[in-house]
Structure 1
């Protein structure tokens, strides 16, 4: 357990959970910006799908856009 001020303790997994969610949010933002740069009208759906289903939309997005290369 992590000890905070005034005797408040947090479970050891909380920092790890926050880091993982931070990475998921960062990837969702990246996918949104990339889809927007490509002119996709479904960029917000890619963003939301990544937040909800994490890795599956990322793999699908990368598979669908593999031949196009990076967005300009």
Structure 2
């Protein structure tokens, strides 16, 4: 028997017994996708954006707030879109 077939029912039963875990994982994945797309939109390379996204999957609150802090520190505003050089 492969490990996947023996652990899959366990994972499913955990999510059925504690659905809040599924919600937490879905929110974490959504934050990682948002962070990746935001980093790309703000001119970061794909590698840097991917590192931020993977980091938020590993240590969600620490990496997320570090990204927001550095974003605020370097750009000055959380709500305005990035300033492009073409203007």
TM class by shorter chain equals 0.7 to 0.9
* Counterpart position of 1:7: none
RMSD: 1.5
Highest relative contact order (Cα 8 Å, sep 6+), 1 or 2?
Answer: 1
Extract unaligned runs of 5+ from structure 1: 1-9
Extract unaligned runs of 5+ from structure 2: 1-12, 83-87
Count of residues in Structure 1 that have an aligned counterpart in Structure 2: 62
Structure with bigger strand share is 1
Structure with bigger helix share is 2
Structure 1 consecutive aligned stretches of length 4 or more whose deviation exceeds 6 Å: none
Question: What is the rounded CA distance, in whole Å, between the counterparts of 1:55 and 1:39 in structure 2?
Answer: 23
TM-score between the two structures when normalised by the length of structure 1: 0.76
